Amino acid sequence: MTNASNTPSITLYGIPQCDTVKKSRAWFTGQGIDHQFHDFKKQGVPADLLTGWMAAVGWQKLVNRQGTTWRKLPPAVQAGVTDEASAAALMLEHTSVVKRPVVVWRHGGQAQVSVGYSPEQWQAWADAARAA
């Protein structure tokens, strides 16, 4: 039986059609790890959390410069992304430019953030939550 106080609150943020998001959701389900899904397309990027994500992982890691959305942006818009404020504005306007998934684990009053498919990191966090 799982101790409720050792159970993290996990939210996976992304776009359901994204292959990496699909793979991540399947990993959590396959591991039997409960999680919530936040759809950027339907619910948007949560502006109140974006600052914390940037503080945790850096705005450069959150802006997906390899994706189709980025490549379709005008060069002037791309060149204008030079700091946290400009990156946040872009991610709020173009949700598909956020690298996916963003996974937030809340456990014991702490929040941890990962970006991209990171099963090794997620497993380490799950193991630490079980051990707590």
Catalytic positions: 18
Do the strands 9-14 and 102-107 form a parallel or antiparallel pair, or are they unpaired?
antiparallel
Which tokens in the block code for residue 44?
Answer: 């948007």
Question: 63 with 69: CB under 8 angstroms?
Answer: no
Q: Residue 107: name the closest of 5, 13, 33, 23 by CA.
A: 5
39 φ, ψ to 5°? -90, 110
Hey, what amino acid is at 85? A
Q: Which two tokens stand for residue 55?
A: 């503080």
Phi, psi of 111 (to 5 degrees): -125, 135
